[in-house]
Each structure stands twice: as C-alpha cells, then as structure tokens.
A = this chain, B = another copy of it.
C-alpha cells in the first residue's frame, strides 16, 4: 500500500495497453486523441491510463495550450533498470562462485 515510485513504475508497465502507449510515445509525443485511436475504449479510460503512467513518472503532459501532448520520460525507467541489473548481476556472481567451488573440488580430487 505504500505505493513507492518503483512499485508504481512496475505496476504501470504491467498493463499491455499502457506498454503499447509507451512504445508509441517513444517514437513521438502524441495528443490524447491520437493515443486513444487504436484502442476500443472510451477517452476517459485513456485518460485514466495516462494518469497511472503520469503518477509513476513515466509520462508527462505539456503545459500551455490545448491539446496538451503526452511525452515519454525515458529517464523514469532508470531506477527500474538498475534494480533489474543489480539482481541479475547478483545471481550471475553467485553462479561464478559456484563454478569456482566446483573447480576447487576438481583440484582437490586430483
């Protein structure tokens, strides 16, 4: 329930529609209407998705005149990526250590 930022980013990207939005926004900013076009859902539903992405920091909305285009904040994925890399590397180091141990056992057997 704390809903820390990292959890929010993971949760935001757990939805295929929102991942698709991010994929499209990575190519170019888009208005909400442009974004909504491919999905068979109400405009309000799209606004809801955008709010989830926005509160996770994945996306921002331009200030100023309407319509205010949606912008992908690529840097918002950094902390998530760090998390993933950290534990992938951790597991890898553990694997290396296992190799080392097996090698040592091999030597002892000689």
Contacts and interface: CB of A to CB of B under 8 A. Distances in A.
Interface of A: 2, 4, 6-8, 10-11, 13-16, 19, 22-23, 26-28, 72, 74, 77, 80-81, 83-85, 87-88, 90-92, 94
Nearest to A13: B10
Contacts of A72: 87, 91
Contacts of A8: 14
5 contacts: A7-B14, A22-B87, A26-B94, A74-B87, A74-B91
B84 A88 contact: no
Contact of A84 (B7, B80, B92): B80
A28 B94 contact: yes
